[in-house]
Structures are given as structure tokens and as C-alpha cells.
Amino acid sequence: MDGNSAREPGEPTGFLAGWCSSSAASARRPRNARHFAAVRAGVFASVLAVAFALRRLGVGVFEATALGAAFGIVGVGVMAAVSGRLGYMVHCTSYCPIGLASNTIGRINPFRVHIGEGCDECRACTASCRYAALNIEHIRRRRPGITCTLCGDCLAACDKRQIHYRFPELTREQARTAFLVLVAVLHAVFLGVARI
Ligand code: SF4
Ligand code: SF4
């Protein structure tokens, strides 16, 4: 599994790409990708506050479900109108509260994407990241931003092979293989559970 495949930088990496990657946002290269952390934190806090308020007010299941559906429809609107136009996952990196929760909880995961010291900060990889996780600040500190999903899209974008998966005590090749095996197993397990 060579990270420098013939795949164009920015294209989804098969099963490594999440369901979000099927959106219109994956059709274009990201330009000026930014992660609006404050917006997403505000949405997250608002969702929690509304959920608790609905509970305290005794709002019915139908009304609560309708509100949840409306929130989801707004997200689809952000995906279509903003992510599709800008070419990166604005709905994921700056709107979806689940994205914030998974990015935060995901830090427990020992797998990381790392940028090597041989990086010359050319920024060729920036446009390959549809999650706004490879801006110049991230490149300078040699690790992607918190919105990184470990999708692997950026690996092929660096012709100096400076981007790689990292796992404690493993070489970069072993870490990549271990990550691919883990993702394949998880997909198989969850698909199997879904069928049951
Ligand atoms: S990781 Fe590679 S592509 Fe990205 S800035 Fe560094 S040298 Fe350039
Ligand atoms: S930095 Fe993370 S999210 Fe962005 S392309 Fe690389 S692996 Fe994917």
C-alpha cells in the first residue's frame, strides 16, 4: 500500500473516505480552507442547550424530532451551498456537532498523521485536505489540525513523502498497514452488524 499512488491529490481514498466525502464538497479542490472552530463550538453548545431545554419544557417527541430534522436539513444546505462551492467540508469542520465530538474523542486514538522534518513548507499538500487541517500553521508545527480525520488523502500529495501515519513503536510503513487493517476490520464489523 504505497502512499504515493497514481491517485490525484484530493480524491477520496476509497474506504478511508467517510460518508461526508460523498458530498458535493469532494468534487473540487479546497481553496482557502478554514476551520471555524468558534462557530462549531457555538453550534455544539446550542444543540446541547436546546436539547436540555426541550427536555425541561416537556416538548413532545414529534416536535423534538422535527427540530432535529430541521437542524439536519440546515446541515445539508450548508453542504450544498457552502461546502460544494468552496470545495471542502465546511459542514463537517465548522457546523456538525458530531464532527466536533468525534474530532475531540478521536484524540484518544493513538494513530496520527505526522509531517516529517524534511518538509520544506511548499504547501502542495494543503489543497488535498478537504477538512481544513493542513494550513500553513499546521504544516509549521508538523501535525494536521484537529479536524484531521486520518483520511490519508494528503499522503499522495507530498512528493517528498513527508506525510505519513504514525503509531508508537511502529515504522511509518507498519503504522500505515496497521491503520488500513484496522479500518478494514472496523468497516467489515460494522457492515456485518448493520446487516443483522
Ligand atoms: S508535507 Fe510535503 S507537500 Fe506538504 S508542505 Fe511539507 S513538503 Fe510540501
Ligand atoms: S490532514 Fe488529515 S484530514 Fe487532511 S487529508 Fe491529511 S489525513 Fe485527511
Model pLDDT for residues 57-91, shown as the tens digit of each residue: 998 899 999 999 999 999 999 999 888 888 888 88
Q: Looking at the predicted structure, is the pLDDT value of residue 171 above 80?
A: yes
Q: Looking at the predicted structure, is the pLDDT value of residue 14 above 80?
A: no
Nearest ligand, CA 176:
2
Q: Count H helices and E strands in the chain, helices first.
A: 7, 2
Residue 140, C-alpha cell as written in the block:
509549521
Burial class (CB in 10 A: 0-12, 13-18, 19+), 188: exposed
Say which residue the cell 478554514 belongs to: 34
CA 43 to CA 37: how far, in whole Å? 10
Which tens digits make up the pLDDT trace of 133-162? 999 999 999 999 989 999 999 999 999 999
Closest ligand 2 atom to Cα of 138: 1
Residue nearest to ligand 2 atom 6, measured at CA = 154
Residue that wins the pLDDT comparison between 23 and 182? 182
Segment among 73-77, 98-102, 179-183 with least mean pLDDT: 98-102
Nearest ligand, CA 137:
1
Q: Looking at the predicted structure, is the pLDDT value of residue 17 above 80?
A: no
Q: Look at residue 87 in the predicted model and tell me its pLDDT.
A: 83
Nearest ligand, CA 115:
1
Q: Which of 143, 42, 36 is nearest to 92 (CA)?
A: 36
Pocket test for ligand 2, best of 93, 135, 136, 154 (most atoms within 8 A of CB): 154
Q: Look at residue 13 in the predicted model and tell me its pLDDT.
A: 41
Closest ligand 2 atom to Cα of 132: 4
Ligand 2 pocket, residues with Cβ under 6 angstroms? 113, 128-129, 131, 133-134, 144, 148-154
Q: Look at residue 4 in the predicted model and tell me its pLDDT.
A: 38
Q: Looking at the predicted structure, is the pLDDT value of residue 98 above 50?
A: yes
Split at pLDDT 50, 70, 90, the class of 123 is very high
Ligand 1 touching residue 128 (CB < 6 A): no
Segment among 115-119, 126-130, 190-194 with least mean pLDDT: 190-194
Residue nearest to ligand 1 atom 2, measured at CA = 158
Q: How far is the CA of 79 from the centre of ligand 2 (A)?
A: 19
Backbone angles phi, psi at 168, to 5 degrees: -50, 130
Q: Looking at the predicted structure, is the pLDDT value of residue 15 above 80?
A: no
Q: At what angle do helices 97-105 and 37-57 cross, to 10 degrees?
A: 110
Arithmetic mean of pLDDT, 96-119: 88
